[in-house]
Structure 1
Amino acid sequence: MAPAARRLRASVTGILLDSPVSRLGCSFATLVGLAVGVPLSSGRIRVVGDLIVCRGLPRWAFRRGGTCVGRVYLTRHNDGPRVLRHEAVHVTQWRRYGMLMPLMYFLAGSDPLTNRFEIEAGLEEGGYR
């Protein structure tokens, strides 16, 4: 890679990744997660570390056992300690990538066994193994 291209990439990476811009994106995603989770939750809403857990949601509101949107974890009843540790890693990923997270997750593929975000969060703790 040419030096100019490296500088441009470093500049863009510094602005978008793990920056105030990405944290703002995470905050926006958290508001979206709350807008979905709070009215649809039929269970108790609780805070576990940095994670806001909305439980009792209808099955159509998330994929697999649950979905992390910003700091909000949307699930029906899949909220044991191991899963919440897995989801806490997703919160860190949201903070790092902000609103790029949905696109990057999509591009990483739907198979959790090869999706780098699920691997980083821990396949066993996420219930994939």
Structure 2
Amino acid sequence: MVRLRRVGNLLNLSTPLGVLLATAGRARIRGGPHGLLLAEGCRLPFPDAGAMTIGDVVLTTGRFGDLVGRFPRVLDHEARHADQWLRWGGLPFLPAYLFCAGWSLLRTGDRAVGNRFERAAGLADGGYPDPPPRR
């Protein structure tokens, strides 16, 4: 599955977009588990999450050692997002994700808790709380 995802996310242009963003943010890119490319020290503005996945590229402003120290399964969570990029055909995933994040924010007061993509990637693995939705 990893090889299929890597080829698919390359062809659907999501991984090249991730590499472009990592390069623009002057991140250091290296290989990681699950066939992911880890981009550390990215200087682009991020949402207040520890990491963000674009295709097979996981970007963070800090270091993955620190992030994994706090959330040991975070790279499992990010690999599931890389799978989502493939299933959604690449770039169409971005507006779908943003819509779900906005809907979650309106519904729960948190952009991840009610976001179907974050839930499918495993909230706890990503370091997100799982409170009940706000009414």
Q: TM-score, normalised by structure 1?
A: 0.71
Partner of residue 54, structure 2: 69
Whichever of the two has the greater Rg, that structure is 1
Q: Does 2:20 align with 1:35?
A: yes
Question: 1 or 2, which has the higher helix percentage?
Answer: 1
Partner of residue 86, structure 2: 95
Identity of aligned residues (%): 31
- CA gap 1:52/1:105 in 2 versus in 1, 3 angstroms: same
Asked if 1 retains the 8 angstrom alpha-carbon contact of 2:9 and 2:85, the reply is no
**Equivalent residue pairs, number:** 105
Partner of residue 101, structure 2: 109
Partner of residue 122, structure 1: 122
Gap runs ≥5 in structure 2: 1-7, 103-110, 130-135
Asked if 2 retains the 8 angstrom alpha-carbon contact of 1:26 and 1:95, the reply is no
Question: Greater RCO between the two (CA within 8 Å, min separation 6)?
Answer: 1
Residues in 2 aligned to 1:26 and 1:116: alpha-carbon distance in whole angstroms:
25
Partner of residue 34, structure 2: 49
Q: Which letter maps to 2:98?
A: F
Gap runs ≥5 in structure 1: 1-22
Q: TM-score, normalised by structure 2?
A: 0.68
- Show CA shifts across 1:20-79 (max 9, x none): xxx3676411101111213511x452232221110111251x322121111100102363
Partner of residue 4, structure 2: none
